[in-house]
């Protein structure tokens, strides 16, 4: 099992004790130690609290979400922030399913992202 997420949490914890950080996010020091060892993964709520306590910027925040999704034993490997957004939007779910059925490639998605970014700047 890959343990990058746990190592990253430990790195960001810095000089705080397990108890101090655990108290800040509402988990026990034992639970936090299991996270750092890669044996457990936080819920979205606790992950959001970690992100807030660590004051992570967008890229770092997304890395946290993605690592939990990739390393978690959960068979549904979608980052919690994205999964929540997808489940709130039926049109998006339909769009993704159509794209999956058509087996669109990465260049398609890059073009869609570019279109979205360009429409934002207008």
Task: Specify the pLDDT at position 79.
Answer: 87
CA distance between the termini of the chain: 45
Contact 65, 54 (CB under 8 A): no
The structure tokens listed for 122 are 């207008």
Q: Which two tokens stand for residue 38?
A: 């890669």
pLDDT for 57 equals 94
Rg of the chain over all Cα atoms, to the nearest angstrom: 17
Helices (DSSP H) in the chain: which residue ranges?
A: 4-13, 18-25, 29-37, 44-53, 58-71, 80-87, 90-102, 106-121
Sign of CA dihedral 51, 52, 57, 58: positive
CA atoms of 32 and 94, how far apart (whole Å): 37
Q: What is the mean pLDDT of each run of 10 residues along the chain (122 residues)?
A: 87 96 97 95 93 94 91 82 90 92 93 90 72
Rounded to whole angstroms, the Cα distance separating 55 from 8 reads 14
Residue 79, φ and ψ in degrees, nearest 5: -55, 140
What domains, with CATH codes, occur in the chain?
4-74 (1.10.260.40), 89-122 (no CATH)
């Amino acid at each position: 099992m890959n343990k990058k997420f746990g190592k990253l949490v430990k790195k960001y914890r810095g000089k705080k004790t397990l108890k101090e950080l655990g108290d800040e996010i509402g988990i026990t020091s034992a639970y936090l130690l299991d996270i750092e060892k890669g044996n457990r993964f936080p819920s979205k709520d606790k992950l959001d609290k970690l992100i807030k306590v660590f004051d992570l910027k967008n890229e770092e925040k997304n890395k946290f979400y993605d690592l939990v999704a990739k390393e978690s034993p959960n068979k549904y490997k979608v980052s919690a922030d994205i999964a929540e957004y997808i489940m709130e939007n039926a049109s998006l779910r339909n769009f993704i399913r159509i794209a999956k059925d058509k087996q669109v490639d990465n260049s398609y998605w890059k073009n869609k992202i570019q279109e979205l970014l360009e429409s934002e700047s207008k």
